Amino acid sequence: MSSPSAVAVGTRELTIAQAVNEALAEELRRDPTVFLIGEDIAEAGHPFKVLAGLVAEFGPGRVVDSPISEAGIAGLGLGAAMTGMRPVVDIMFGDFLTLIMDQVVNQAAKIHYMSGGSLKAPLTIRTTLGATRRSAAQHSQSLHAWVAHVPGLKVCLPSTPADAKGLLKSAIRDDNPVVIFEDKMMYTTKGHVPDGEHLVPLGVADVKRDGEDITVIATSSMVQVALAAADELERDGVSLEVVDPRTIAPLDRETLVSSARKTGRVIVVDEGHQSYGASAELAAVVAEDAFWHLDAPVVRLGAMDVPIPFSPVLEDETVPTPERVIAAARRLVGKSS
Amino acid sequence: MGIRAFETAANQLYLSAKMPGLTHLYIGEEAVAVGVCSMLRVDDVVTSTHRGHGHCIAKGADVRRMFCELLGKEEGYCRGKGGSMHIADHANGNLGANAIVGGSAGIATGAAFAAQRLGSDRVAVCFFGDGALGQGLLYEVMNMAALWKLPVVYVCENNLYNEYTHFSEVTAGSIPKRAEAFGIPAEEVDGQDVLAVRAATERAVERARAGDGPSFLLAATYRYHGHHVGDIDRAYYRKKEEEELWVAERDPIELLAARIEDDAGFSELHERIDAEIAEAVAYALDAPYPDPSEVTQDVFA
């Protein structure tokens, strides 16, 4: 697939915040059963200002300020989803997923299966991930692997404005519970978004950069990290192919594996903690389906297995950076120095 | 009476090892489900509990399909994927039993939210036990229901026991005042008196349909059997005399029979129900299991 950001004709440049806002506005306009509920999302427009202006157009009946009751709004959203609406529940920080896990894991994820297909839950949960905002251990985690582990949930990790818009619109229209993680450090990241209706299907990866020597499978903001590393390595004559799964559940195994087979070397970069995280699953998929094409073991780069610390000098140690991707890539092609 | 017969048969299926797993019997509490659901329309929704067969039957479910589900058969309400604790009957407005104590409070409140926002006069009823009073979710959604005047009725079935612990050991203060603190009118009702439950439900449902917001009913009732069918030796948490007293003096079916004074009509009804249940059990025992290939079906809609 070609990268949407490579297309200039018929596009506009938006930030991820603007793209998310536009996606929500379009879906609220299109479908009267869509509503948003969350903490400080109406007049405040969300602490990250992503939702600014929506209440002015759609009113407090559809852009609903809730109490600070994450489990309550997740459960309320689920009940509304089961009875004819398409709620978008805003969980301000991904760390607060801990507060809604019963509603998501035991209720929303299972209701369709457990009812033999008679009930469904078209529920979208928007939340965030990502460190380096100096927000310390309870506002900095990337917990997407927790929900991706549970059958019945779809999990989106947009890395560009175009994907943020297209995935969110698809999530809202999907008949299943979908959790979409936006990197809180990327809301001001700009990129081209196609004009008009723009949907990105769930379960289709995107090759963000074609390359020959090493496949970098990167998620969310780690796509930008991988692309920065690719630019740098190009000067050394090392060519990276950057593959963005975009959704880790369902996972487009085929695109990941075919790239791995082509290059024979794979680095997985994901901002979740490395142990038992998404990077482990992505690496396992490559190992299972591309093993005989690999020239070296798959390399994983995740967040360190420590709570995210506050002090900038400590926090910056915890997450993958372009420099670390470059070092890993050089080792893989035997150019470490 | 249908619920009593259903549960008695379910117990027999467990005791004769014909049913996989466990089930939680509603015997003794029937007047609550019947009293509440008899005041609801088909399109009104309920959410139920792990002890949910009574709500399910009272809301109109077919006992054949229920027994099929208890036995893991293809014709069960959930095609055998839910079992006793997860029966959902969408056509009759039953959004499902729930094996997480208090887990459906959000779903019922959300259904009420949807009814209000979609302009329907549908009402949602949330059944839960005294055990759910310990769950924070209940108070989170009661707060929102009161704030937004949602058409929901919270029905607390206090059968005196949080599983194996008397509720008074784990429940502080006044239960109705917990609802009243949110501005939700609370009414205490004799859960063994079906007519009293009906009358209280009528008031709560009228209030909800009129757009005046949620209500809270506290029904005093009693679980004749154990927490589940395997909970047979109960002496360590409650006395045999206590159980016998409720059965002898507070049985909801006997209380209603005494009031109606139509013994012939009652025994005729009894026979008809027993025959219907026996036929449904036989049907379910003979019904086919789902094909193993169905295991991957319906993970996603």
Residue B121 has pLDDT above 50, yes or no: yes
Start-to-end Cα distance in chain A? 34
Whether residue B88 and residue A114 make contact (CB cut-off 8 A), yes or no, is yes
Determine phi and psi for A333, rounding to 5 degrees: -100, 15
Confidence band for B200, pLDDT divided at 50, 70 and 90: very high
Residue B196 has pLDDT above 80, yes or no: yes
Q: Which of A172, A194, A216 is the last residue of a domain?
A: A194
Name all domains of chain B by residue range, CATH numbers in brackets.
2-291 (3.40.50.970)
In a domain, A28, yes or no: yes
- The closest of A119, A139, A11 to B89, measured between CA atoms, is A119
The Cα angle at residue A14 between residues A11 and A20, in degrees rounded to 5? 110
Tokens 């302009």, residue located: B119
Residue A45: give its domain's CATH number.
Answer: 3.40.50.970
In a domain, A200, yes or no: no
In a domain, A124, yes or no: yes
- The closest of A206, A28, A79, A26 to B103, measured between CA atoms, is A79
pLDDT at A158: 98
Does an H or E element contain B224, and which? none
Residue A315: give its domain's CATH number.
Answer: 3.40.50.920
Say whether both A166 and A256 belong to one domain: no
pLDDT at A336: 61
Say whether both A101 and A25 belong to one domain: yes
In a domain, A1, yes or no: no
Q: Which of A166, A194, A222 is the last residue of a domain?
A: A194
Rounded Cα distance between A124 and B259, Å, is: 52
Which residue of chain B has the CA closest to A104?
A: B103
B100, A44 contact by CB (below 8 A):
no
Whether residue B137 and residue A72 make contact (CB cut-off 8 A), yes or no, is yes
Rounded Cα distance between B37 and B204, Å, is: 12
Say whether both A272 and A297 belong to one domain: yes
In a domain, A223, yes or no: yes
In a domain, A2, yes or no: no
Tokens 């609802």, residue located: B179
Rounded Cα distance between A192 and A163, Å, is: 10
Token readout for B294 is 């169905």
Say whether both A171 and A217 belong to one domain: no
What is the pairing mode between strands A86-90 and A34-38? parallel
Domain tally, chain A? 2
Q: What percent of chain B has pLDDT over 90?
A: 95
- Report H helices in chain A: 16-30, 54-58, 70-82, 101, 111-114, 144-148, 161-173, 222-234, 253-263, 278-290, 312-318, 322-332
In a domain, A3, yes or no: no
A204 by Cβ neighbours in 10 Å (0-12 / 13-18 / 19+) ranks as: middle
Residues of chain A with pLDDT under 50: 1-6
Interface A-B, measured as beta-carbon pairs within 8 A, has a size of: 148
Whether residue A107 and residue B106 make contact (CB cut-off 8 A), yes or no, is yes
Say whether both A230 and A309 belong to one domain: yes
In order of A84, B20, B67, B291, the CA distances from B288 in angstroms are: 33, 15, 12, 9
Say whether both A317 and A184 belong to one domain: no
Whether residue B86 and residue A115 make contact (CB cut-off 8 A), yes or no, is yes
> Could you say which residues from 26 to 65 on chain B have a Cβ atom under 8 Å away from some Cβ of chain A?
45, 47
Of B99, B111, B300, the CB nearest to A80: B111
B194, B31 contact by CB (below 8 A):
yes
Tens digits of residue pLDDT in B38-77: 999 999 999 999 999 999 999 999 999 999 999 999 999 9
Say whether both A138 and A58 belong to one domain: yes
The question of whether A139 is a catalytic residue gets the answer yes
What is the 8-class DSSP label of residue B295?
G
pLDDT at B216: 98
pLDDT at A79: 98
pLDDT at A151: 98
Rounded Cα distance between A292 and B234, Å, is: 61
What is the amino acid identity at position A231? D
Q: Which of A194, A214, A234 is the last residue of a domain?
A: A194
Say whether both A252 and A185 belong to one domain: no
pLDDT at B260: 87
Tens digits of residue pLDDT in B10-26: 999 998 999 999 999 99
Say whether both A146 and A225 belong to one domain: no
Token readout for B113 is 């939210």
Token readout for B177 is 């005042």
In a domain, A271, yes or no: yes
Segments forming the whole domain that contains residue A170: 11-194
Q: Determine which one of A46, A112, A139, A144 is catalytic.
A: A139
Tens digits of residue pLDDT in B164-180: 999 999 999 999 999 99
The Cα angle at residue A131 between residues A127 and A133, in degrees rounded to 5? 95
Say whether both A211 and A151 belong to one domain: no
| Category of B146 on φ-ψ map: left (φ > 0), alpha (ψ -120 to 50) or beta | alpha
Say whether both A211 and A189 belong to one domain: no
Whether residue A175 and residue B105 make contact (CB cut-off 8 A), yes or no, is no
Say whether both A235 and A166 belong to one domain: no
Rounded Cα distance between A283 and A50, Å, is: 33
Q: Chain A contacts of B143, Cβ < 8 Å?
A: 67, 69, 72
Q: Chain A contacts of B146, Cβ < 8 Å?
A: none
Does an H or E element contain A249, and which? strand A247-249
What is the amino acid identity at position A333? V
> Could you say which residues from 155 to 184 on chain A have a Cβ atom under 8 Å away from some Cβ of chain B?
175-176
Q: What are A88's strand-pairing partners? A: A36, A124
